[in-house]
Chain A
């Protein structure tokens, strides 16, 4: 069982609100990732981090931002939520990079913006 947690699991919120999706892992992994998945579509990497104070944008352009102040914590923030942000957001971590190591995924946050 992977020790990676996401809160909230479900969030319904109005347009214009600021939201933060939490992701924490207790495995001491340096590498952490955020994916976005629309229904019936692929997981798309939106942010990743290779360690504390390191953050990079992924392949899919996203208006969200991330921070990595502590190894175990990788929150994602949307300053002003819009209906186009409605999606599922999955957090993952790995000990090594994706070249040789599997990723451990959290259960996801399903976000609906009204």
Chain B
């Protein structure tokens, strides 16, 4: 059974501070890693799709890195704002069968 782990499960961050969290996934049969942001009462929204070891992607104040050899990805948020409060999901794509496996998410709360 393939496991995708996200840590921490929940995080409280002061507005203006920067933060990061982790997604761990199997290092074998890797094809792609997705990051999504899911705000309460809204649809999950795509942030990044990453495929290459060493990839770094950026969207505004949010960036992500990828290490496929050791099986982890970091998501960074610089200068947290209230609108960053959401659950951040990562999903691993297995190259053998294109199955997509989600983690449980990191729930981020920005404190004013």
What is the interface of chain A, defined by CB distance below 8 A to chain B?
Answer: 2, 4, 35, 40-45, 58-59, 90, 97-108
What would 23 A/B residue contacts be, using CB atoms closer than 8 Å?
A2-B43, A2-B45, A40-B104, A42-B103, A42-B105, A44-B102, A97-B98, A98-B32, A98-B91, A98-B93, A98-B100, A100-B32, A100-B49, A100-B51, A101-B49, A102-B34, A102-B36, A102-B46, A104-B43, A105-B36, A105-B43, A105-B44, A107-B41
CB neighbours (8 Å) of A106 from chain B are: 43
B93 CB contact (under 8 Å) in A42, A90, A99: A99
- Is there an interface contact between B89 and A107, defined as CB atoms closer than 8 Å? no
- Is there an interface contact between B49 and A45, defined as CB atoms closer than 8 Å? no
What is the interface of chain B, defined by CB distance below 8 A to chain A?
Answer: 4, 31-32, 34, 36, 41-46, 49, 51, 89, 91, 93, 95, 98-105
Tell me if A's interface is mostly helix, strand, loop or mixed: loop
Q: Which residue of A lies closest to B89 (CB)?
A: A43
Which residue among B36, B45, B100 has the maximum number of chain A CB atoms within 10 Å of its CB? Answer: B100
| A42 to B4 CA separation, bound complex (whole angstroms) | 9
